[in-house]
A and B are shown apart, each in its own frame.
Chain A
Amino acid sequence: MSSPEALLLTTGLSRAFGGLVAVDSVSLQLDPATIHAVIGPNGAGKSTLVNLLAGEVKPSSGSIRLRGEDITGWKPDRIARRGVARTFQHTNVFPDFTVFENCRLAAQSRNVHLMRWLKPAESYREWNDAARSAMAMADLGARAGVPAHSLSHGERRALEIAMSLATAPAVLLLDEPLAGMGAEESIRIVALLKRLSADHSILLIEHDMDAVFALADRLTVMVNGAVLASGSPNAIRANAEVQAAYLGADVPMTAL
């Protein structure tokens, strides 16, 4: 299943917590400029998969390759600097910093020289510019000076994405970016992800099936840590096994 243009490729990726196999031999491929959605009922191992790819959790076995380079077992910061950005299922921003500073700090992470001690952080134009364009992309330009804790929930989710964008990533790992959002906010984020997919590879974990089928170029269905099916949205829609799995679980799959 490996192909030369694969940006991110996992082979037999597994992680067990004690006796529980949270991610079971997952092989999955993320191509350039595509949205690859991973769906599945709660407890299917989707978040653990993101944590494995981001280096937050070490795999028990299997490998992860980024542009052909083996990054299995790398620390999260090293993976991030190599171009893999992630967002968290539970909003994870710097609440007391302004929106701008959240994004500026994210942009600064592209250049972690320990010895930059003298010039003010705001005097580095490239980081300011990266922060501003990330804010603009996520529709947060008007909120630059506001501390993140006074943003609405939807705006904070958007800020998560903006922070990832400020790091100029090649791969975006988005863990339920629409969680807890109202319909109107969801539409805006879906539009943002659509725009981003032109030049980013996005691994999207999401429960909102309308959004998933509106966005995904490719779908992987996980159940109990393992891949049940993987393919184009139409193929997944028609897959009898997937339907059975979803009908068996409590998760309504209205879009199917």
Chain B
Amino acid sequence: MADPEHPRRSTVSDRVITWWLVLGILALAIFPAIAEQFYLQLITKIMILSIFALSLDLLVGYAGLVSLGHAAFFGVAAYTLALAAPASDPPNLWLTLPLALATSAVIALVIGALVIRTAGVYFIMATLAFAQMVYYFFHDTRLAGGSDGIYVNSRPSLEIGSIDLAQDLHFYYLVLAALAGVFILLGIVLRSPFGRALQGIKANEQRMRALGYPTLRYKLAAFVLAGTLAGLAGYLAAAKEGYVNPELLAWHQSGMVLVMLILGGMGTLFGAVIGAFSYVLLQEWFSNLTKHWQLLMGSFIVLAVLVLPRGLAGLGRSIALRRRLSASRDDVEP
């Protein structure tokens, strides 16, 4: 039996993943038909955070780079939209989105080039330090409203047919398409030679170097890709809220997305999405119960980490694995 968790997964497991993906996209596509406006906006927010968590998963879960500064790229793209948007007209998505992504990519390239040589806790501290520099740049200068932030007066326009992103329903589907696109893109990248090399570097960087891989370049490329995808999430967040402020780049934001990933399960794409959904939905639920919701949230996360070391996504997988094991107990190992 092929190990389903690692490269060269069995085709069965690939098929299962595809089914879950299709099912998930369908469920999210049908959701607006039954949802109230409040939940439509809530799920839109969660899907944006899912993209953010997926982008961090590439670093943490697949390349073994634990970044505590990922919000910098999210926030920089959000600010790019806010600064590039014309005062009254809606900004053109086809101009502002590439600009925002490019800004995130360049910032990620610069920060990445400086931090990628560090490892472990030094990498965590270096990413945190650079992200805080970006935070204070926006917080302490008048460039974009300082600590007050600035408004994005209208949602970007897509200029296709009758699509109007100012309508929450249309915007919801744009975000869903972006989430599905990022999920599929990462799925493809992770099984490509580049993705396999990243996973090898996470497992044993010294061995990869001895084999001939210039590992720093691979890690830097992953850092830039992750930063760019975080930028996509930041752009969508700014477009959704119509408002950006320095908190989008703060280390709380970096910490939150890391917690989502830990909660959902690192190193699986579903884990990132499940983590974003469970984090925000629990936050909603707990804050309806009590104003001390952070206490409940903290306890839940501690409990989840203790009981489910592979996150919520690991729960479903170990159940499926156990069932398959008992079904094929008589099979001979190859």
A residues apposed to B, CB below 8 Å? 54, 56, 75-78, 80-81, 85-86, 88, 92-98, 100-101, 104-106, 108-110, 112-122, 124, 142-147, 163, 167
Contact = CB atoms under 8 A, between A and B. Distances in A.
Given A105-B200, A108-B197, A98 B6 contact: yes
9 contacts: A80-B209, A93-B204, A96-B5, A96-B203, A100-B8, A109-B211, A119-B193, A121-B192, A145-B8
A109 B215 CA distance: 11
B300 interface: no
B207 interface: yes
Interface string B1-43: 0110111100000000000000000000000000000000000
A63 to B, nearest CB: 21
Nearest to A92: B207
Q: How large is the interface on B (under 10, 10 to 19, 20 to 34, 35 or more residues)?
A: 20 to 34
B314 to A, nearest CB: 15
A115 B197 CA distance: 12
B6 A145 contact: no
A176 to B, nearest CB: 16
B214 interface: yes
Given A105-B197, A109-B211, A121-B196, 9 more contacts: A77-B208, A92-B204, A97-B8, A105-B196, A112-B212, A117-B192, A118-B188, A119-B193, A146-B333
B84 interface: no
Contact of B194 (A97, A114, A143): A114
Contact of A77 (B189, B195, B209): B209
B191 interface: yes
Contacts of A93: 204, 207
A110 to B, nearest CB: 7
Contact of B193 (A88, A95, A106, A108): A108
Given A77-B215, A92-B204, A97-B203, A116 B194 contact: yes
A78 B203 CA distance: 20
